[in-house]
Amino acid sequence: MKSLLVLLLLVPTTFCLPNAFSRGSCLQLINAARSAFADKLQLANMNELVYNKKLEKKALEQLSYSGPCPQPSIISQNHLDIYLNVKGHDLIVDLLSATGSTQMACVRSKCGDEDVISIVTDVQDSSPISGPPGTQCSSERLANSQGLCTQEYSRGGYARKVTAEDLKEGLEAVMPTTIFGPFFPPFIPIFG
């Protein structure tokens, strides 16, 4: 449980360092957290996410409706989940537990002086399957070394390599304050 909590705390590292926020770092940290989530809860069919820049537009559209300071919420529409203002909220657990999602985008906006982080994912019909991570991938996906189900061609794009030392330094730079607040998450749901 300790290692899962550490990895979940790494997700906000990207969002807290102004120069570190990038598509690649957001994607990598979300996938690392999904991998840890799948490992801890023994989810056999957790998909690796790939970055889809077109989804950024959906988050920006939703922010234009809700204003610059939206309440933390999940908006579901047209087979997409839009996670608005994930800072200080456990909405990220829903993102991490959505085993069937395959694409995502991150958007950083401003509410006064505060950063607002919003994430968009696709929604796929997929129920969590119990078992060792990566052992129940769909027929068009293969397990990667992190136990996520990936498409062979998804290796390009925004996959930036981060070492354990990079993650340690990033975590030290933002602790004890993260975008998710002082304690994240308050609980981890268990799938039966």
Q: SS3 of 55, please?
A: helix
The pLDDT profile of the chain, 192 residues, written as one tens digit per residue, is 444 443 444 444 334 444 567 889 889 989 999 999 999 999 999 999 999 999 999 999 999 999 889 999 999 999 999 999 987 678 888 888 899 999 999 999 999 999 888 999 999 988 999 999 999 999 999 999 999 999 876 544 444 444 445 444 444 443 334 443 433 333 333 333
* Of 82, 95, 118, 109, the residue nearest 38 (C-alpha): 95
Per-residue pLDDT, 20: 62
DSSP bridge pairs for 75:
82
* Of 121, 154, 150, the residue nearest 55 (C-alpha): 121
CATH class as words, domain 2-174: alpha beta
Per-residue pLDDT, 51: 97
What end-to-end distance do the CA atoms of the chain give, in Å?
18
One-letter identity of residue 186: P
Burial of 107 (C-beta count, 10 Å sphere; 0-12/13-18/19+): buried
* Residue 76 tokens, joined: 């579901």
- Any idea where the domains of the chain sit in the sequence? 2-174
Per-residue pLDDT, 159: 42
Per-residue pLDDT, 83: 94
Instruction: Write the DSSP symbol of residue 18.
Output: T
* Of 81, 104, 109, 84, the residue nearest 33 (C-alpha): 104
Per-residue pLDDT, 75: 94
